[in-house]
Amino acid sequence: MATTTELLTELNGFLEKESYQKAVDVCNKIVAKTPTEQIAYNAKVLALIRMNKFDKALEVASRFDHLQVEAAYCHYKLKNEQKAIDVLASLPSSPAVLHLKAQAHYRLNQYNECIALYEQLLAQAAPTDDTIELKTNLIAAYAAAGRGAELSSRGLETEGSYEIAFNKSFVTLQSDDIEAAQTHLNEADRLCRETFSTEGYSPAEIEQEALVVQLQHGYIQQLAGQEEEALETYLNVVQTKPKDVGLSAIAANNIATIQKQQDLFDSIKRLKAISQETLKDKCTPVQHETILANLALLWSWMKKLDECQEVLQKLKSIFPNSSSVAPIQLYLALGTGETKPTADTLKKALDIFKNDTSVNGQLCLAHVYILLKEPGKAADTLRSIESLAHSAGTVATLVALYDQAQNPAATQQVLSQALAFHAAQDSTSGEALAIQEGDGAYQLAQGNYAAAASRFESLLSSESLTPEMRLRCMAKLVVAISFVDATAAETRSALLPRIASASTDPEALIKSRAQRKTTAVAPVPTKKRGADNPERIARKRAKRREKHIEVLKSRQEYYPNVPPHPERWLPRKQRSRGNRRHKNKFVGAQGSGMGSQKDALKLDAAARAAAKKESATHKAHVVSGPSAMERKALARKRR
């Protein structure tokens, strides 16, 4: 029997050959002989991790304090990120611990914590350390957190890494600099091909590695409005059959966003082909949520309501706070836009969103109230959304709704609260200035000229106004102050820019007008009616039938078991019972006419004798013509 030393030597050989299953078997033999041999446990955990058997590796690692980092890594790979963070919290802050903790925070969408950890790792790194991976992950975290602008001043070098160049394209996209993003992607594509070519990869393998850059090229083309080129790029990525199925999923989703309603069958087929394992393991949470939302929207466009509801339920169960669920539910509740919503439809929609406390749910509820012609309730609903209540767009909408509901007190309260909110935050921000200008315009419209003039004067004293806003405020100030102080209004109006004089001579204009005797009337364009389309006529009849049935159901005398007549939807002239047979047959006049003349001739003996004598004068004679054989011969000649 082999000794422990011999087994350790054998174990080392299997690890070098990457024969991990045999290494695990040897570890079991070593542990059986020497239960306290830590090297065997360390090697066994490593081999199990290499074989992606994280659950079995976790069983071993969790029993030993010196294997807690490996245990945390197993938790991370098993999608238990918070558990991994909890395990790492009790360990010393080594680079491995900080790096794993940063990755766990990134997966939990806790990007600010992730950025802080990567910044700490970069600060602790020695000048000779390889920090390319740290910088790559740091840039990705900044981009995911929406803080890409903070990196523009740091000037991080690419350092020959296509990953850094690739991630820098995301940072520039957040600044809406599409050209710079395209430049970074071109550099990433070049570095990617050079790197893998130097390492001895085949052309096919290099193309596989460069697919992620190509996919991002398509995304930038789509953002730039080049949808045909982007669609071609996405199709090329799909046809290449990436080994990373996550790339295929993203390409399929982007193809669907370009095709929209043009090819619904193809788009649904592509999104349905994405497996749950791909969505869970290869896509980020944002990508997973987006793909499910797009699939539900496609089903709604196809009028497949059951399939759409099934996807929506899955979306709500996985992402309870998804902002895409409520708009699609509203689209379904209102009848997918085919017909005008009825009272019953709006009532059902109201019941759906009354208990929905999400932002989009409340927005949908306000939309339903507007359709119900209840602007006051719609405004109250919008006002209850704290995250949106004081934005310039929401305040303008609330003012319009309360004005329609004839509630000036609520309008004034909304403006006062919004002004106080922004005064406490930053009174010189664009939102604050827009609300102040809106308040002045509202006071001017209500006839509160002194308050309007005061508001515009305070705005003009600010140095944060844009030239366009300053000109508008100055013009409105002149209008408002003209009702209070005409002299001051005249003084203010002198500061407004002069309107360029017209080049037309007034006298010539008057003469040309006098010479014109009649007023030329522009011809009214007539809309040509196209040929009747049978499909369009059938659709109109179907809609008319649905509308008629809705009206019948709303009546008390509605009998659901008695269907309407099948010819109810045909025009009256085309109905079988409506056609009166022989209605156009000539029957002659009544009382006198041709019939009475004939009867009179029959009774007139003298007239009958004269007619008989006249017919006798016409003697019969024989009419000669070709015989039957001659006629056949003539027919053959004609042929």
Q: Is 24 part of any domain? A: yes
On whether both 255 and 228 belong to a single domain, the answer is: no
Last residue of a domain, one of 441, 464, 496: 496
CATH number of the domain enclosing 30: 1.25.40.10
Contact of 191 with 184, CB cutoff 8 Å: no
Task: Tell me the angle at which helices 54-61 and 38-50 cross, rounded to the nearest 10 degrees.
Answer: 160
Instruction: Determine the pLDDT at residue 552.
Output: 78
Q: Which domain holds residue 483?
A: 426-496
Looking at residue 620, its pLDDT comes to 46
Question: 265 and 230, same structural domain?
Answer: no
Residue 636's pLDDT is what? Answer: 64
Let me know if residue 328 belongs to a domain. no
DSSP 114-126: HHHHHHHHHHHS-
For the stretch 351-392, pLDDT in tens is 889 888 889 999 999 999 999 999 999 999 999 999 899 999
User: Region 430-453: what's the mean pLDDT?
Assistant: 92
Is the distance from CB of 235 to CB of 217 less than 8 angstroms? no
- Residue 453 falls within a domain, yes or no? yes
- Per-residue pLDDT for 619 more than 60? no
Assign 253 a pLDDT band (cuts: 50, 70, 90): very high
Final residue of a domain: which of 243, 265, 290? 243
Q: What is the pLDDT of residue 531?
A: 56
Interatomic CA distance for residues 445 and 412, integer angstroms: 13
Quick check: 188 and 213 in contact, CB under 8 A?
Answer: yes
Give the position of tokens 């405004």. 379
Query: Does 293 lie in the same domain as 268?
Result: yes
Reported confidence tier of residue 623, pLDDT bands at 50, 70, 90: very low
Question: How many Å apart are CA 558 and CA 552, to the nearest integer?
Answer: 6
- Which residue has 């619904």 as its token pair? 264
Q: What is the 3-state secondary structure of 34-49?
A: CCCCHHHHHHHHHHHH
Token pair 């806790």 is at which residue?
Answer: 110
**In this structure, what token pair is assigned to residue 561?**
């078991």
CB within 8 A of 295, min separation 6: which ones?
268, 271, 272, 311
Q: Are 69 and 80 within one domain? A: yes
**Same domain, residue pair 140 and 182:** no
161 with 283, same domain? no
Task: Identify whether the C-beta of residue 233 lies closer than 8 Å to the C-beta of residue 182.
Answer: no
Tell me, yes or no, whether 576 lies in a domain.
no
Res. 291 pLDDT band, cuts 50 70 90:
very high
Name the burial class of residue 179, with classes exposed (0-12), middle (13-18) and buried (19+) by CB atoms within 10 angstroms of its CB: exposed
CA distance 44 to 581: 97
Same domain, 161 and 174: yes
Q: Helix, strand or coil for residue 340?
A: coil
Nearest-angstrom CA–CA distance, 1 and 34: 14
pLDDT for position 621: 47
- Whether 397 maps to a domain, the answer reads no
Which conformational region is residue 130 in: left (phi greater than 0), alpha (psi within -120 to 50 degrees), or beta?
Answer: beta
**pLDDT for the residue 35:** 83
- 336 secondary structure, DSSP code: T
> How far, in Å, CA of 313 to CA of 318, rounded?
9
Domain contains 595: no
CB environment 114-142: b (16+ within 10 A), e (fewer): bbebbeebeeeeeeeeebeebbbbbbbbb
Tell me what pLDDT residue 625 has. 54
Among 129, 148, 167, where does a domain finish?
Answer: 148
Q: Do 57 and 107 reside in the same domain of the chain? A: yes
Query: Is residue 62 located within the same domain as residue 122?
Result: yes
Q: How far is CA 107 from CA 101, 115, 117, 189, 635, in A?
A: 10, 12, 14, 26, 96
Q: Are 293 and 324 in contact (CB under 8 A)?
A: yes
CA distances from 321 to 357, 430, 567 (A): 10, 30, 50
Question: Which three-class secondary structure state does DSSP give residue 127?
Answer: coil
- Residue 391 included in any domain: no
Domain check: are 70 and 198 in the same one? no
Q: If you compute the radius of gyration of the chain from its CA atoms, what whole number of angstroms results?
A: 42
Instruction: Read off the pTM.
Output: 0.67
Helix residue ranges per DSSP H, 426-533: 430-445, 449-460, 467-482, 486-493, 506-515
Q: In 10 A of CB 520, how many CB atoms?
A: 6
Kindly state the average pLDDT of the residues 572-597: 58
Cα distance between residue 607 and residue 361, in whole Å: 100
pLDDT at 254 over 70: yes
List of residues 6+ apart from 194 with CB closer than 8 A: none
Number of domains in the chain: 4
Band of pLDDT at residue 598, cut at 50, 70 and 90: low
Is there a single domain that holds both residue 209 and residue 254? no
Taking the C-alpha atoms of residue 211 and residue 344, their distance in angstroms, rounded to an integer, is: 51
Task: Give yes or no for residue 81 having a pLDDT over 50.
Answer: yes
Shared-domain flag, residues 65 and 165: no
With a cut of 70, say whether residue 442 has pLDDT above it.
yes
In a domain, 278, yes or no: yes
pLDDT over 90, % of the chain? 43
| Range with the poorest average pLDDT among 200-209, 326-335, 337-346 | 337-346
Q: pLDDT per residue over 446-488, tens digit each?
A: 999 999 999 999 999 888 888 899 999 999 999 999 998 888 8
**Closest among 316, 373, 372, 368 to 382, alpha carbons compared:** 368
Rounded to whole angstroms, how far apart are CA atoms 481 and 488?
Answer: 7
pLDDT at 414 over 90: yes
Is residue 592's pLDDT more than 70? no
> What mean pLDDT value characterizes the chain?
84
What's the one-letter identity of residue 7?
L
